[in-house]
C-alpha cells in the first residue's frame, strides 16, 4: 500500500527484492546506489554478517522527482535469503507495493529458487496478498555462470503467471536498471518513465 502524504505532496512506494540466498539481491541495490546521483538517493543501509550475508535487510531510498504532480519516492528493500530468516522475510514484505524476485540462474540453485518463491507466496498470503494481484517481476541473475538454466526452463519453474522477466548479470550491472524500471512503472502505474 503506497504511503500518500498530501501535506507535503508526496507518495512513497515500497519495492522488495526477494529470492534465494546468494542470488544477488544486495548486488542489485549496490549497483543502483553506485549509479544514481547522490541527490536522488539515500545512503545504502545494510545489516550484514562478517561474510557479507544480509542479516535483516538492505535499504535504499530513491527520489523519482515529480510524477503526476506528486513527489514520488521508492523505498527499495532486500530480504535475507538464508533459510533461517523466514520471520524477517515476512516482516519486510509488510505493506509491499511491488516485488523483484531475483532468481539464481545456476542449475544447481533450481530447487532453492522454487522454495523461495513458494515461501514468498506463503508469506504474502498471511497479509492477504497473492502473486496474481501484486505487481512483480522476475530477474534471472548470474547469466554469466557456466551452468545456467535456459530462460524457458526458468519460466517453466517460476513464471506460471507470465510476469515480465529480465536476464541479468547484476555483478556487472547488466539488467539491473531494466528490472528496476519495469517494476517502478508497474507500481507507479506509469507507461512512460524516463
Ligand atoms: N557470477 C556472478 N556472481 C554474482 C552475480 N550477482 C551477484 N553475484 C555474487 O553472488 C554472491 C551473493 O550476492 P548477494 O548480492 O550478496 O546475494 P543476496 O541475494 O543478497 O544474498 P543473501 O543476502 O544471503 O540473501 C556475491 O558473491 C556476489 O558477488 C552475477 O550476476 N554473477
Ligand atoms: Mg543480501
Average pLDDT of the chain is 93
Q: Which residue has the higher pLDDT, 189 or 102?
A: 102
Size of the chain, expressed as the number of residues it contains: 194
C-alpha of 181 from chain center? 11
Residue 17: name the closest of 163, 87, 116 by CA.
Answer: 116
Q: What is the rounded CA–CA span in Å between residue 188 and residue 157? A: 28
Q: Which residues place a Cβ less than 5 A from the ion ligand 2?
A: 25-26, 54
- The answer to whether residue 135 scores a pLDDT higher than 90 is yes
Query: What is the structure's pLDDT at 190?
Result: 63
Average pLDDT over residues 139-147: 98
Residue 194's pLDDT band, with cuts at 50, 70 and 90, is very low
How many Cβ atoms are within 10 Å of 128's Cβ, its own excluded? Answer: 7
Domain segments of the chain: what residues?
3-193
Average pLDDT over residues 123-128: 97
Query: What is the structure's pLDDT at 161?
Result: 98
Q: Which three cell numbers stand for residue 136?
A: 512483480
For a ligand 1 pocket test, name from 34, 171, 178 the mutation site with the most ligand atoms within 8 angstroms of its C-beta.
Answer: 171
Class of domain 3-193: alpha beta
Half-sphere exposure of 8 (CA within 13 A, CB side): 9
- The answer to whether residue 193 scores a pLDDT higher than 60 is no
Query: What is the structure's pLDDT at 130?
Result: 96
Residue nearest to atom 29 of ligand 1 (CA): 171
Tens digit of each residue's pLDDT (9 = 90 or more) over 10-23: 999 999 999 999 99
93-119 in b/e burial notation, b at 16+ Cβ within 10 A? Answer: beebbbbbbbbbbbeebbebbeebbeb
Which atom number of ligand 1 is nearest to the Cα of residue 141?
Answer: 31
For residue 18, give the H/E element and its range: strand 10-18
Average pLDDT over residues 80-100: 93
- Helices assigned H by DSSP within 93-174: 110-126, 151-158
Residue 98: name the closest of 66, 63, 139 by CA.
Answer: 139
Tens digit of each residue's pLDDT (9 = 90 or more) over 68-88: 788 999 999 999 988 888 999
Residue with cell 528496476: 180
Amino acid at each position: 500500500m503506497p504511503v500518500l502524504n498530501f501535506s507535503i505532496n508526496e507518495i512513497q512506494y515500497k519495492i522488495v527484492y526477494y529470492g534465494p540466498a546468494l542470488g544477488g539481491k544486495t548486488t542489485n541495490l549496490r549497483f543502483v546506489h553506485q549509479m544514481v546521483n547522490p541527490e536522488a538517493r539515500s545512503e545504502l543501509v545494510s545489516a550484514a554478517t562478517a561474510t557479507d550475508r544480509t542479516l535483516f535487510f538492505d535499504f535504499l531510498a530513491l527520489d523519482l522527482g515529480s510524477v503526476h504532480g506528486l513527489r514520488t519516492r521508492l523505498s527499495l528493500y532486500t530480504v535475507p535469503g538464508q533459510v533461517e530468516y523466514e520471520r524477517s522475510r515476512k516482516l519486510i514484505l509488510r505493506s509491499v507495493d511491488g516485488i523483484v524476485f531475483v532468481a539464481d540462474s545456476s542449475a544447481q540453485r533450481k530447487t532453492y529458487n522454487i522454495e523461495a518463491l513458494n515461501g514468498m507466496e506463503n508469506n504474502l498470503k498471511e497479509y492477504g496478498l497473492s502473486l496474481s494481484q501484486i505487481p512483480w517481476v522476475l530477474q534471472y541473475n548470474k547469466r554469466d555462470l557456466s551452468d545456467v538454466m535456459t530462460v524457458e526452463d526458468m519460466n517453466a519453474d517460476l513464471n506460471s503467471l507470465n510476469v515480465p522477466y529480465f536476464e541479468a548479470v547484476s555483478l556487472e550491472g547488466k539488467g539491473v536498471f531494466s528490472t528496476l524500471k519495469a517494476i517502478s512503472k508497474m507500481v507507479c502505474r506509469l507507461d512512460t518513465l524516463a
